[in-house]
Amino acid sequence: MHELSIADSIIKTVLHEIEVKNLPSVKRIVVRIGALSGVVPDALEFGFEALVIDTPLERSRLVIEYLPVRGKCRECGKDFEVDDFLFACPHCASGAIDVTQGEELDIAYLDVEDESHPERHSPS
């Protein structure tokens, strides 16, 4: 299962962050998943919950930001959301589209417990 190995790598990355930056316990792990990444959010959540048992992340919650596909037209330069994987510009019907969003698969930030560190920690 694809999502299980992704969940595993997210967990390893976060555990590494905690160690390197000496973070207090992580409340929420916010990940960005693009619609083109092929990741099923439910499956990722399921995999995460199964893998964090008996780790320091047992009480952390995985929050998934699901990003729709966006494109930019090379003809008229307009940005738009791509509906139903129909890769044509809704403004001028051109098929020359650059995908600008939708392939994401990364950790956006971590919310940590400690009140004295309210800033969000982005993985480096």
Binding site for Zn ion (CB under 5 A): 73, 75-76, 89, 91-92, 94
Contacts of 15 (CB under 8 A, 6+ apart): 55, 56, 57
Residue 99 or residue 108: which is nearer to Zn ion going by CB? 99
Residue 43 or residue 96: which is nearer to Zn ion going by CB? 96
CA-based nearest residue to 121, from 26, 38, 50: 26
CA-based nearest residue to 60, from 31, 101, 84: 31
The minimum distance between CB 101 and Zn ion, in angstroms, equals 17
* Torsion sign, CA atoms 70, 104, 20, 119: positive
The minimum distance between CB 83 and Zn ion, in angstroms, equals 14
Residue 91 or residue 117: which is nearer to Zn ion going by CB? 91
The minimum distance between CB 87 and Zn ion, in angstroms, equals 12
The minimum distance between CB 103 and Zn ion, in angstroms, equals 21
Residue 33 or residue 73: which is nearer to Zn ion going by CB? 73
